Structure 1
Amino acid sequence: MKNTSPRILVVSGEASGDMYAAELIKEIRKHLPSTHFYGLGGEKSRLAGMEIIAEMTALSVVGFAEVLQKLHKIKAVFNKILSVSSSLRPDAAILIDYPGFNLRLAAKLKKIGIPVIYYVSPQIWAWGAGRIKTIRRNVDMMIVLFNFEEEIYKKADVPVFFSGHPLAGMVKTDPVRKAAFIQHNRIREDLPIVTIMPGSRRKEITALLNPMLESCAILNEMLAGKVQFLLLQAPGIPFKMFQDRVYSYGLDIKILYGYNYEALEISDFALVASGTAALEAAILEVPMAIMYKLSVLTWMLLRIMLKIKYAGIVNIIADREIVKEFLQYDIKPERIAGYAYNVLSNRTAAAVIKKELRRIKESLGSQEAIPRAAEAIAELIDKKRGKNGLRE
């Protein structure tokens, strides 16, 4: 019997995907220790031991308009991944989220006989339901994070595995960590804390940071300065991009890097870009305002295509508005500050929101989501390698 080490292609195009990729790599290695991982990713994947053949920062886009601007670069990365994979012939590809890129890649990989595992389902329940036919043709296993997604794929006869959401196990409270964070950053526990999370990509930060800071300036006046602000800096975004804007608003804001969970853990309220940050805040039961802004073209197209009432995953899961959403033309700092003030000054209202967020957290499934997904992936790869006469 031929004995070769497994090879796995991993493709993640965004910060959250890079985080999940890193954790999956660590867990898969417990089952397949000598596996060689390569692909598209960021710093977290690199640190987990993956060979980066293309940097995900080159593909960071928000909306249709920006995709068109970077199309040449996106195609070059796509072709490089395909070329390297045609040569290396990996035992499987793990494609994480990033559907505009990854669904096309899945079709090409399937044609050359590479099994495709898709982690984090495209939001077919929000728009583009027809994509499920493409998924059925090209994906060997769809790993979903939300239990309602499992039923959708079962009905469509797509091989599906519900792992639970990885954040349920990754976002944890720690009394020792909390105390050290408070002391190190000289945070007062007698004043409310508002955390600002404007996103992980330059485009969304450019769109959201100013209105977030303006909202904070108004809130600061409403609370007579008796409030503290924390601003979380995303990987790959220069400190100066935040510093200049904060300075222009004259606010006393602590800009922090790498302390997302510590900051949220002690927060009374958060201003967050719609996406992973909202779910992180929900798991830590932080009342929030969800904000998002796109180019006019992208916004118009989405308004036509979307089948859902809400933009924030917290409200989508609940199927009702648990926390307020301020999107596109509704991003009005006076209203946002007013909502934050009402939550901060009304303990009953805050307690109701926290209770609802606790239910969201409980719906996310096991805290062992990544180990469960890794085991399912390893079993599929081992099974396919066995058929080909290969074993590690």
Structure 2
Amino acid sequence: MHKVMISVGEASGDLHGASIADALKELEPDIRIFGMGGQAMRKAGVEIVHDIADLGIIGFVEVVKNLPRFFRLRDELIDLMKKEQPDVLLVIDYPDFNMRLAPKARELGIPVVSYIPPSAWAWRKGRAKSVAKIVDKIASIFPFEAEVYQKAGADVEFVGHPLIDIIKPSMDKETAYKFFGINPNQPVILLLPGSRKHEIENLLPVMLKSAEKIKLIYPECQFILPVASTISQEMLQGMIKQYSVNVKLTFENTYDLMAIADSAIAASGTVTLEAAILGLPTVVIYKMAAMTYFIGRLLVKIPNISLPNIVAGKRIIPELLQYEVNADNIARETLALLPLSEQGEKVRKELLAVKEKLGAGGAVKRAAQVVLNAAKKR
């Protein structure tokens, strides 16, 4: 029986970790999987030794402030590796933490597989060589990403994008409208402020202000906020009460919800690609601490920050960055994406092309096989 240890730090990584765990169990039913994750991984049968619910930290400045906490957590996971001696460590995304954990695993003779590796194609391009030295195998989700790591000397395999396998609505539209209590004849706008506390505090207030402005133009608009497993419902309700707009909170079947929504306002991240796959036009917003943003601008070398635009190779959905993130701008861009508008229909067609570029599926099974192969080699 092989033992696999997984390390993730965010809700999106938790989802990918759960999918990999399911695929690993199909390949080897008696495999043991444990590590750091959340509710999705727990439901997939992973033994969770540290829950990620309290890891709501982003950005350079925020990470620096929390370094002592990160070091303590890293040491806890190192002690776990020493005790359990897993056959492989699978690190998923969350690079500022996982790329500090990986070298320690290799010192213990434990091979490391990086799934959804650091975005060296976007920034810190020299980091690709560093990552190549501290992980044994990279399972890449973008073809252009695989090329960057190959040039850096990494052992990399392009497996395709896992979201094509994961994002599958379970209901038809009529059933979904009834399930969520949504009027199909009135616009549905999703608020997607992120899965981390810092993002919620930073972005939800301006989203709610923009919702107030949209309501003035389209009073019948319905606003819905899918709650990430890492976020407190009470915190969200407390923030929403401060604004004169009704927002319905939902807790499950988010992909079914995205499939019937008309547009969304979203924090930059994986959720924007999820929305793209489901054909949901989205206004992407990105706002961080001033110093974090300044450092990022110096390092980021790509014209667009949202994954749908990066995959498309051009800007197809609106992006509002830092000082552009205000209620007026968000409301204007969101209204332009609603159905029957020329811009909205154009974006929907462009999103179909983005989905095609991500491949036909099977990425999760291929990634799981990469992990199992690494475990067998040990």
- What band does the TM-score fall into relative to the shorter chain? over 0.9
**1:51-200 aligned within 5 A:** 51-176=47-172, 178-200=173-195
CA contact (8 A) 2:4 2:375 kept: no
Do residues 335 (structure 1) and 329 (structure 2) align? yes
* 1:23-34 map, 5 Å: 23-34=19-30
**Runs of at least 4 residues of structure 1 off by over 4 A?**
none
Who is 1:214 aligned against?
209
- The whole-number CA distance in structure 2 between the counterparts of 1:293 and 1:144 is 27
| Residues 196-345 of structure 1 aligned to structure 2 (within 5 Å) | 196-223=191-218, 225-344=219-338
Q: Distance in 2 between matches of 1:234 and 1:181?
A: 19
CA distance in 2, matches of 1:298, 1:326: 16
Residue type of the alignment partner of 1:179 = E
SS at match of 2:248: strand
Q: Does structure 1 residue 10 correspond to structure 2 residue 6?
A: yes
Secondary structure, aligned partner of 1:230: strand
Mean alpha-carbon deviation: is it higher for 26-35 or for 286-295? 26-35
Distance of 1:135 and 1:160 partners within structure 2: 11
Task: Give 2:176's aligned amino acid.
Answer: F
Aligned to 1:355: 349
> SS where residue 248 of structure 1 aligns?
coil
Rounded Cα–Cα distance in structure 1 between residues aligned with 2:238 and 2:82 = 46
Q: Which amino acid aligns with 1:302?
A: G
Q: Which amino acid aligns with 1:41?
A: G
**Counterpart-to-counterpart distance in 2, 1:299 and 1:165:** 28
Say how many residue pairs are matched: 378
1:27: how far off?
0.8
Q: Which has the larger radius of gyration?
A: 1
Where does the alignment leave 5 or more consecutive residues of structure 2 unmatched?
none
CA offset at residue 246 of structure 1? 2.3
- Return the TM-score normalized by structure 1: 0.92
Quote the offset at 1:346 in angstroms: 4.4
Superposition deviation, residue 357 in structure 1: 0.8
Q: 1:244 to 1:348 in 2, by over 3 A?
A: same
Cα shift at 1:102 = 1.1
Task: Say whether the 8 Å CA contact 2:205–2:239 is kept in structure 1.
Answer: yes
Name the CA distance, whole Å, in 2 between partners of 1:345 and 1:44. Answer: 33
Structure 1: gaps of 5 or more residues: 386-392
Q: What is the identity percentage for the equivalent residue pairs of Structure 1 and Structure 2? A: 34
Give the SS at the match of 1:241: helix
For 1:377, the equivalent position in structure 2 comes to: 371
Moved more, 79-88 or 242-251: 242-251
Q: Once the two structures are superposed, what CA deviation does each residue of 1:331-381 show, in whole Å capped at 9, x if it has no partner?
A: 121121112222226433212101111111111113211111112222332
Q: Report SS of the residue matched to 1:254.
A: strand
Tell me if structure 1 keeps the 8 A contact 2:4–2:32: yes
Residues 159 and 345 from structure 1, CA distance in 2 versus in 1: closer, same or farther, beyond 3 angstroms? closer
Contact 2:283 2:330 in 1 (8 A): yes
Residues 296-343 of structure 1, C-alpha deviations (whole Å, 9 max, x = no match):
121111111111111211112222211111111111211211122222
Q: CA RMSD in A?
A: 1.6
- Separation in 2, partners of 1:229, 1:349: 21
TM-score (norm 2): 0.96
Name the SS for the 1:39 alignment partner. strand
Give the secondary structure class of the aligned counterpart of 1:344. coil
Provide, for residues 199-235 of structure 1, a one-character-per-residue CA deviation record: whole Å limited to 9, x for no partner: 0011001111011111111111112x12211112111
Assess, with a 3 A threshold, how the Cα gap between structure 1 residues 276 and 377 changes in structure 2: closer, same or farther: same
1:9 CA displacement: 1.2
